[in-house]
Structure 1
Amino acid sequence: MAVWFVTGASRGLGAEIARAALASGHSVVAAARDPRTVRAAFPDAGERLLSVALDVTDEAQVQAAVEAGVEAFGRIDVLVNNAGRGLLGAVEEASDAEVRAVYDTNVFGVLTVTRAVLPVLRAQRSGHVVNVSSVGGFVGSAGWGVYASTKFAVEGFSETMALELAPLGIGVTLVEPGYFRTDFLDSSSLHRVTTAVEDYAEGPAGAMRMTAEQVNHGQPGDPVKAGLAIVSAIDSGRAPLRLQLGSDCVASVEAKLVAVQTELDAWREVAVSTDHDDVATPAR
C-alpha cells in the first residue's frame, strides 16, 4: 500500500481524497492549518492517518510536515497539492496585495511543498505528484481572471515536471475539477476583491459575483465521487497528465478546443495566402 501526502485535507476535495485513499488501504499524511480538524474529520482512521499542521506559505512548516510523514511511514508515494485560495472579481479590481495572496498559496505554496517532497520521491525512483488545478486552469472565465492565472501557472510547470520526472519513475497528474459541492465558494476559501469598479457591475464579472452566491453548495459535482476517481486513477498506474472532472468541466474544455481549432483553421487560410517573409496574423 502507498503513502499519500495530501494538503488541505481537513475538508472539501482534500478530505474526500484522503478518505478514498484510506478506504483503499493506503496510509495518509493529512495536512491542514489546524490538524485537529483532520482528526475530527477522520475519527476512526487509526494509525494509518497522520495529521500534521501545514500552512503551505510557511517553508519551515512544510519541511517539518514532510519529515514527520517520512518518519511515521518511512516513505511518501503520492503527493496531492490540493490546498488553495480563490479570488473573485474583475482583473482590474484586484489589488496587488490580493493578487499576491492568491499566488502565495496557489503557486508558490505548491512549489514549496513539491520541492520538499520530490527529494523523497527521487530517492525512491518512484511516486506521483497530483496537482489540483481547475477547469479555470484550461478555460478563462469572467470574474475568475486572477485565480485562473494561478492555475494556468500550475498547468505550465506541471506539464514541464511531467517531462523532467518521467525518467526518474515519477508521474505527474493535473486534476481539473469543474464546480463541485465543496466549501470553495465559502469565505473560508474564496475571497472577493475589496474595491469594486462600477463599470463591471452589470457585465459578466458582476454577474459572476451573483452566480457564486447562488450556486454555493448546489454545484453539480459530487466531491465524494471526485475523490474516488482521483485515487482510482493513481492506483491504476495509468493516470493521465490531465484528469478532467465534472460534466461542466468537460463541456467547457470541449468548447475551448472547438474555438482553438477554428482559430487554427483561420490562421492556415491567412498563412497560405502570404509569402514566407511576411508577418501574418490569424483572421478573427
Structure 2
Amino acid sequence: MSKTILITGASKGFGKIWAEAFLKRGDKVIATARDLNSLNDLVQQYGDNIFPVKLDVNDREAVFAAVKAGKDHFGRIDTLINNAGFGLFGAVEETTEQQAREQMETNFFGLLWVTQAVIPIMREQKSGHIIQVSSVLGVVTLPVLGIYNASKFAVEGLTESLAPEVAQFGIKVSLVEPNGFSTDWGGASAVQTAANPLYDKLKTDLFGSFPADFYGKPEATTDAVLKLVDSENPPLRLFLGKIAYPFVQQNYETRWAEWNAWKEVSANAHGI
C-alpha cells in the first residue's frame, strides 16, 4: 500500500534523493523547497504523485499553510521527514549572533513548526510516523561545529520527549543520525564564519585527519530510510553510515569512565 510522505528540504541532498526513491516505488510525496524549480525534474517524471510546495520552514505561518495544503491535496500524511537544515562551520568564538540565530531558526525551530503542524493531522488519522533528520553530531560533537552541534542536540532532546507524548495517538517517532556524507551540507549549502587565525591549525588538523572513506555516498542511504518508513516498530534512533557507531561508542565509553570516576562527588551533592 502506497504512503503519503511529506519531506522538507527536498530541493537537493538527502531530501531529493529520498523523495525520488519514494516516488519510484509508487508513494505520493509532498516535497517542500525554497526554490520549486529544483523539483521540476521530479514533477516531469512523476506527475501527479508529487505535490511541490514552496516553503521556508523559518516562517511558522507558512509552515502550517503548507502542511494543510499537502494534506488537502492527497487526503492524508502518513510520514513526515523533517529534513530542512544546513551546516554552520566555525569556532564558537567566531560565530556571529545572526549566524547562531539563523542556525537555530532553521535546524531547530523550523523542524519544531513542521512537527507541530503535522501532529493534529496524524492524531486525527490515529497513525503516522515523524522522522527527524538529526546527525551523529546530535549525539557526540566535533570542534568548530559548535552551533550546529547545539542545534542537533536540541532536536534530539525535543524528539526524545515527543515520542512518549504522541505514542498514545498512534504516532511513531524516529531520529535519523547520519555521519558525514558527500552532500552539499559541507559545501555550497554551508555557512562559514569569518576565520580567526588562532583556530586555523585546529581546523586543518581536524579535517585533515578524516580517512578517504569518511564521507558516505548519499544514494546508499535510501534502503535504510525505506526500511525505517515501512517498519511496524521503528527505532527511536537510527545511525546512517559506518562511521557513526564506532565514533559514538568510543565517546560514550569515555563519558561513562569520567562519570564513574566522579560518582561519589555526584552522590554527595544530593545532600540526603
TM score, norm. by length of structure 2: 0.92
What secondary structure does 2:174 align onto?
A: strand
How far is the alpha carbon of 1:179 from its aligned partner? 0.8
1:228 counterpart letter in structure 2: D
In the alignment, which of 232, 235, 238 is matched to residue 233 of structure 2? Answer: 238
Check if 1:267 corresponds to 2:262: yes
Count how many residue pairs are aligned between Structure 1 and Structure 2.
271
| Aligned residue number for residue 157 of structure 2 | 156
Tell me the CA shift for residue 256 of structure 1: 1.4
Instruction: Confirm or deny: 8 A CA contact 2:79 2:130 kept in the other structure.
Output: yes
Which residue identity does 1:235 align to in structure 2? D
Q: Do the aligned partners of residues 277 and 249 (structure 1) sit closer, same or farther apart at CA in structure 2, a change above 3 Å counting?
A: same
| Amino acid in structure 2 at the alignment position of 1:261 | W
Q: Secondary structure at the match of 1:201?
A: helix
Q: What is aligned with 2:193?
A: 193
Per-residue displacement from partner, 1:250-277 (whole Å, max 9, x unpaired)? 12111112112212331346568x6974
Aligned to 2:167: 166
Runs of 4+ in 1 over 6 A off after TM superposition: 209-212
TM-score norm. by structure 1 comes to: 0.88
- Asked whether the 8 Å contact 1:143–1:208 carries over to 2, the reply is no
Code of the aligned partner of 1:230:
V
- In structure 2, relative to structure 1, the CA distance for the partners of 1:95 and 1:248 (3 Å cut) is same
The one-letter amino acid of 2:192's match is R
Instruction: Provide structure 2 residue ranges, at least 5 long, that are not aligned to the other structure.
Output: none
Tell me which residue corresponds to 1:282.
Answer: none
Give yes or no for contact 1:181–1:222 (8 Å, CA) kept in 2: yes
Q: Retained in 2: the 8 A contact 1:88–1:209?
A: no
Q: Once superposed, what is the RMSD of the aligned Cα atoms?
A: 2.3
CA offset at residue 39 of structure 1? 2.3
**Contact 1:30–1:49 at 8 Å: present in 2 too?**
yes
Superposed counterparts of 1:1-284, under 5 Å: 1-41=2-42, 43-187=44-188, 189-194=189-194, 196-203=195-202, 205-208=203-206, 220-268=215-263, 277=271
The one-letter amino acid paired with 2:163 is A
Structure 1 unmatched ranges of 5 or more: 279-284
Shift of 1:148: 0.5
Query: Per-residue deviation at 1:151?
Result: 0.2
Contact conserved, 2:8 with 2:84, CA < 8 A, in 1?
Answer: yes
The share of aligned pairs that are identical, in percent, is 40
Letter in 1 for 2:200: A
Indicate conservation of the 8 Å contact 1:89/1:209, yes or no. no
SS in 2 for 1:100: helix
Distance 1:219 1:45, change over 3 A: farther
